[in-house]
Structure 1
Amino acid sequence: MESEATVLIVEDDPALASALSELLETEGFNTQIESNGENAISRIRDENPDAVLLDLGLPDSDGFEVCKAVRPDYMGAIIMLTGSHGDNDHIRGLEVGADDYVTKPVSPPLLLARLKALLRRIEQISEVTDLSVAGGDSKKLNMGPLFIDRRARQATISDTLVELTTFEFDLLWMLARRSGTTVRRDELYRQLLDREYDGLDRTIDVHISRLRKKLVEFGGDADWIKTVHGKGYQFFVT
């Protein structure tokens, strides 16, 4: 999928946008460039690219607003391009629905690694779904009011559909299928982000917080996901 994937680069710095496009095209990606936030919202909805590289500082709508606007319906990967000072920007980006982030100045190897990791996960999702539709690997979990259908990639609480991003669904599935046991933080990083946990990265923590809020919003309980300090997370529906 990676060599055929389309990436929309949303960046208002022409030099950086051109450099990113050249980097990705060299790796076999198809790229498009958009410099305006409002236009980016329309293009993501209409063109449905495989991935979006989303800068924060944009005319009209900033990167946070763009991400928040498209995330309910867009299932592709979103990587935020954030400033290098402090972690507030990338945490806020994750909270509004970005899958991952890369700080500026952009490291080409790091950007490529994170983009390819997210696209591989999405490709695996497609393969699992196709196999399940064919009748080979239908997986479902039912725990109290929570029902998860991996084939349909849907979760419901008391028959109410929980609106989850692709990342949030994968995180929920990984925790729920190991219900009652501790899933280590470093395992979540390897499985969902294809990188090692360095002890400082808060990406998974922010996604966990967002998932808890979604569960509560749709009738569940934040205590379904418990933090096991120094280790990871445990999922259990009471």
Structure 2
Amino acid sequence: MVVEDEQSLADVVATYLEREGFEVTICGDGLQAVTLARQIDPDVIVLDLGLPGLDGVEVCRQVRTHSDAYIVMLTARTEEVDTLIGLSVGSDDYMTKPFSPRELTARIQAMMRRPRTGPAAGAPAEVPAGESLREFGDLAIDVQGREVTVAGTPVALTRTEFDILATLARDPGVVFSRPQLITAVWGPNWVGDDHLVDVHIGHLRRKLGDEASRGRYVRTVRGVGYRMGIGQ
């Protein structure tokens, strides 16, 4: 689903995606986008930040209550705060206008290649069925079932947040750099700012009730990257 009120841009994006075999629905209004997302249950949503009716941030927030579609946020503003706000409500990636529709299409294709039950591209080998559950103190991660609980309470993560956590959990003794996590979660052909990882790690910690200073579940290794904590 392409949610963009600039019709000419929406048409160009749709054309590129249709050439690659995607079925595309175009929508130019935020309120309509929320309704359509529930009706058609898209795999990917290309979502403009500045929309009539509801802005892209609010659309993303509402869609996330019922959908785990990949969301790519488009913004005409370059201030970092816009990017962070967009990601904080569950978008998986962002692009700043003007952008290359070819690059957008490539990023979406990379997203769609990400496995939903096995390891992400470049990640460690898949966890055997009998070892699917990983526990770190009160944190329990069912890698194959894609479920996370803290002290028995389910935690709702986006696909990207889960993929990052699962990548760290599959090899908890390894420190992953940003580029390694990008390769593992977004794929080797992803192009963009690898500080995107930091934003998702921040939201992941918030949802798990973790703190960067403690690193019970996700630890920062300064100058290197991230690794799993031991739950204490």
TM-score, normalising length: structure 2: 0.87
Q: 1:145 maps to which residue?
A: 138
Structural mapping, 1:119-134, within 5 Å: 119-121=112-114, 124-125=115-116
Q: 2:123 maps to which residue?
A: none
Indicate if the aligned counterparts of 2:136 and 2:217 stay in contact, CA closer than 8 A: no
Q: Using a 3 Å threshold, how does the CA distance of structure 1 residues 105 and 171 change in structure 2: closer, same or farther?
A: same
Indicate if the aligned counterparts of 2:107 and 2:190 stay in contact, CA closer than 8 A: no
Q: 1:169 maps to which residue?
A: 162
Q: Which amino acid aligns with 1:79?
A: V
Instruction: Return the offset for 1:116.
Output: 0.8
Q: Which amino acid aligns with 1:53?
A: V
What SS class does the counterpart of residue 26 from structure 2 fall into? strand
Indicate if the aligned counterparts of 1:72 and 1:163 stay in contact, CA closer than 8 A: no
Please give the alpha-carbon distance, in whole angstroms, between the structure 2 residues aligned to 1:23 and 1:196.
Answer: 18
% same residue: 40
Q: Using a 3 Å threshold, how does the CA distance of structure 1 residues 126 and 178 change in structure 2: closer, same or farther?
A: closer
Q: 2:92 maps to which residue?
A: 99
Q: 1:73 maps to which residue?
A: 66
Indicate if the aligned counterparts of 1:102 and 1:110 stay in contact, CA closer than 8 A: no
Indicate if the aligned counterparts of 1:91 and 1:203 stay in contact, CA closer than 8 A: no
Instruction: Return the offset for 1:143.
Output: 2.3
Please give the alpha-carbon distance, in whole angstroms, between the structure 1 residues aligned to 2:136 and 2:154.
Answer: 15
Structural mapping, 1:1-238, within 5 Å: 8-83=1-76, 85-121=78-114, 124-125=115-116, 137=129, 139-195=132-188, 200-216=193-209, 223-236=216-229, 237-238=231-232
Indicate if the aligned counterparts of 1:50 and 1:76 stay in contact, CA closer than 8 A: yes
Q: Which amino acid aligns with 1:105?
A: P
Q: Using a 3 Å threshold, how does the CA distance of structure 1 residues 181 and 200 change in structure 2: closer, same or farther?
A: same
Root-mean-square deviation over aligned CA pairs: 2.2
Q: Which amino acid aligns with 2:116?
A: I
Q: Which runs of 5+ in 1 are unaligned?
A: 1-7, 129-135
